[in-house]
Amino acid sequence: MNIDNYKAYISAETMMGPNSIRILEELLNKYPLQLAPNDVLLDLGCGTGLTSLVIAKETGAKVFANDLWISAEENRKRFVKWGVEEQITPICEDANNLHFKKKQFHVVISIDSYHYFGGNKGFFQEKILPFMQDNGVCLIGIPGLKDKYTGCAEELLSDWLGYDAYMFKSPKLWKELIGDDNRIKLVKTWEMDCFSKAWNDWLATNNNFALNDRQYFETIIKPYTCFVGIYIKLNKSL
């Protein structure tokens, strides 16, 4: 994908942190998706629906856009404005209590949100895996801690994040947390390359949260954190 195709949609209004489209772009370029119009995809923690728009445009598949903080009606209005309301279904549910059909989704994507709800071992197997089809794919991009600082999040990040520092985990630790299952073929985690561009886009806005992040970027965010990419591939039918 080419992020330049979506510059008109990326704004202080639609961004909720470092540019989620930069993160999504890296994931889709590294692991391209081959989907048909009738395939169904879940965008888990979609925020204002910006990632859902791009996923719909890039894959042509049907998208369920789920977020807990942004109402379905608010996102529906945006999808109508963007002309994708027939392709994207907005949902507002807690990731710990989703109400989808078993094995409904070919693909699950989660950008800048999975760390809020998926940080416990067994979460993926219990809360996400039942809704995924055999041979499916899960792509996750989240803020985290560089591998060399594994286990030191609260010590290093508390001045910036306070109590929420515990959510930042290293690629190595995320691989352990995703864990094993007889339906999982492989799990890959890595420090993503889009860190600087995604953060620069966010810090250039006048969003109040971005203004707060600016004062910590050079001393805490840049030296200790990264974006963690996670690729999960499921086995074919057993």
Domain ranges of the chain: 3-234
Q: What is the DSSP letter of 110?
A: E
Q: What does the pLDDT average to over 201-217?
A: 93
**How far is Cα 133 from Cα 123, in angstroms, rounded to an integer?**
17
* pLDDT tens digit sequence for 92-103: 999 999 999 999
What pLDDT is attached to residue 1?
A: 82
Query: What's the chain's average pLDDT?
Result: 95
Long-range Cβ pairs for the range 161-167 (8 Å, 24+): 166/119, 167/115, 167/116, 167/119
Chain-centroid distance of CA 42 in Å reads 11
**How far is Cα 22 from Cα 27, in angstroms, rounded to an integer?**
9
Percentage of residues in the chain having pLDDT higher than 70: 100
pLDDT higher than threshold 90 for residue 153? yes
Higher pLDDT, 3 or 176: 176
pLDDT higher than threshold 70 for residue 200? yes
What pLDDT is attached to residue 238?
A: 63
What pLDDT is attached to residue 13?
A: 85
Structure tokens of 214?
Answer: 């600016």
Q: What does the pLDDT average to over 149-166?
A: 96
pLDDT level of residue 79 (50, 70, 90 thresholds) = very high
Least confident stretch, 94-103, 134-143, 229-238:
229-238
Fold exhibited by the domain 3-234: Rossmann fold (3.40.50)
